[in-house]
Structure 1
Amino acid sequence: MIAEPDDRAKRSLNRNAYRGQSAEQSSPRAHAIPDMKTLNRLARACGRVHRSYSDFVMLAALLAARSSEVSGLQVGDVDFGKNLVVIRRQIFPGKGGLVSKPTKSRKERRVPILEPLRPVLERLVKDKRPEDQLLVGPKGGILTTATVRDATSWDSVVAKLGLPDLTRHGLRHTGATWMADAGIPLHVLQDILGHASMETTRGYLHPDDRHLASAAEQANAFLSAAGQRKHARRGSTPSRGL
Structure 2
Amino acid sequence: MSIYLRNNIWWVEFTAPDGTRVRRSSATEDRQQALEFEAKLKHDLWRVYHLGEKPRMTWKEAVVRFMREKQNKDSTNEVSIFKYLDPYFGHLYVDEIRRMHIDDIIQQRLNEGVSNATVNRLLQKLRAVLNKAHKEWEVKCDPPYIKLLKEPKKRVRWLAEPEALRLIKALPSHIADMATLALETGLRESNITLLRWDQVDFSQRIIYVEGDDILKSELAFVVPLSDVAVDVIKRQIGKHSTRVFTYKGNPIRRANTKAFKNVCAELGLEDFRWHDLRHTWATWHVQRGTPLEVLQELGGWSDYKMVKRYAHFSHQHLKQFVNRSPTGLATISPTMAKFGQ
Q: With structure 2 as the length reference, what TM-score do the two structures score?
A: 0.47
Aligned pair in 2 of structure 1 residues 181, 139: CA closer, same or farther (>3 Å)?
same
| Structure (1 or 2) with the larger CA radius of gyration | 2
Candidates 155, 165, 180, aligned match of 2:271: 165
Candidates 185, 195, 200, aligned match of 1:78: 200
Please give the alpha-carbon distance, in whole angstroms, between the structure 2 residues aligned to 1:104 and 1:125: 29
**Is residue 34 from structure 1 mapped to residue 146 from structure 2 by the alignment?**
no
Residue 176 of structure 2 corresponds to 54
Please give the alpha-carbon distance, in whole angstroms, between the structure 1 residues aligned to 2:208 and 2:182: 13
Candidates 133, 140, 143, aligned match of 2:250: 140
Aligned residues: 191
Residue 317 of structure 2 corresponds to 212
Tell me the amino acid that sits aligned with residue 194 of structure 1: G
Deviation by residue 1:185-234 (Cα, 9 ceiling, x = unmatched): 21111011122221210111234x514236538x95xx779xxxxxxxxx
Aligned pair in 2 of structure 1 residues 88, 162: CA closer, same or farther (>3 Å)?
same
SS of 2:236's partner is helix
**Is residue 181 from structure 1 mapped to residue 287 from structure 2 by the alignment?**
yes
**Is residue 66 from structure 1 mapped to residue 188 from structure 2 by the alignment?**
yes
Tell me the amino acid that sits aligned with residue 166 of structure 2: R
Residue 232 of structure 2 corresponds to 120
Contact 1:64 1:175 in 2 (8 A): yes
Runs of 4+ in 1 over 6 A off after TM superposition: 7-11
Contact 1:88 1:103 in 2 (8 A): no
SS of 2:282's partner is helix
Contact 1:62 1:117 in 2 (8 A): yes
Deviation at 1:140, TM superposition (A): 0.5
Aligned pair in 2 of structure 1 residues 155, 45: CA closer, same or farther (>3 Å)?
same
Aligned pair in 2 of structure 1 residues 144, 156: CA closer, same or farther (>3 Å)?
closer
Tell me the amino acid that sits aligned with residue 137 of structure 1: Y
Please give the alpha-carbon distance, in whole angstroms, between the structure 2 residues aligned to 1:188 and 1:157: 33
Contact 1:75 1:134 in 2 (8 A): yes
Aligned pair in 2 of structure 1 residues 161, 53: CA closer, same or farther (>3 Å)?
same
Deviation at 1:106, TM superposition (A): 1.1
Contact 2:159 2:280 in 1 (8 A): yes
Deviation at 1:127, TM superposition (A): 7.6
Gaps of 5+ in 1: 91-100, 226-242
Q: With structure 1 as the length reference, what TM-score do the two structures score?
A: 0.64
Tell me the amino acid that sits aligned with residue 288 of structure 2: A
**Is residue 199 from structure 1 mapped to residue 199 from structure 2 by the alignment?**
no
Candidates 128, 149, 162, aligned match of 2:257: 149
Deviation at 1:179, TM superposition (A): 1.5
Contact 1:86 1:108 in 2 (8 A): yes
Q: What is the alpha-carbon root mean square deviation over aligned residues?
A: 3.7
Deviation at 1:42, TM superposition (A): 1.5
Deviation at 1:34, TM superposition (A): 1.2
Residue 44 of structure 1 corresponds to 169
Residue 240 of structure 1 corresponds to none
Please give the alpha-carbon distance, in whole angstroms, between the structure 2 residues aligned to 1:10 and 1:171: 23
Residue 32 of structure 2 corresponds to none
Q: Percent identity?
A: 22
Please give the alpha-carbon distance, in whole angstroms, between the structure 2 residues aligned to 1:11 and 1:83: 40
Residue 68 of structure 2 corresponds to none
Tell me the amino acid that sits aligned with residue 210 of structure 1: H
Please give the alpha-carbon distance, in whole angstroms, between the structure 1 residues aligned to 2:166 and 2:175: 13
**Which structure would you say has the larger RCO, counting Cα contacts within 8 Å and 6 or more residues apart?**
1
Please give the alpha-carbon distance, in whole angstroms, between the structure 2 residues aligned to 1:192 and 1:11: 29
Contact 1:77 1:86 in 2 (8 A): yes
Gaps of 5+ in 2: 1-73, 82-113, 121-148, 328-341
SS of 1:124's partner is coil
SS of 1:206's partner is helix
Aligned pair in 2 of structure 1 residues 206, 160: CA closer, same or farther (>3 Å)?
farther
SS of 1:111's partner is strand
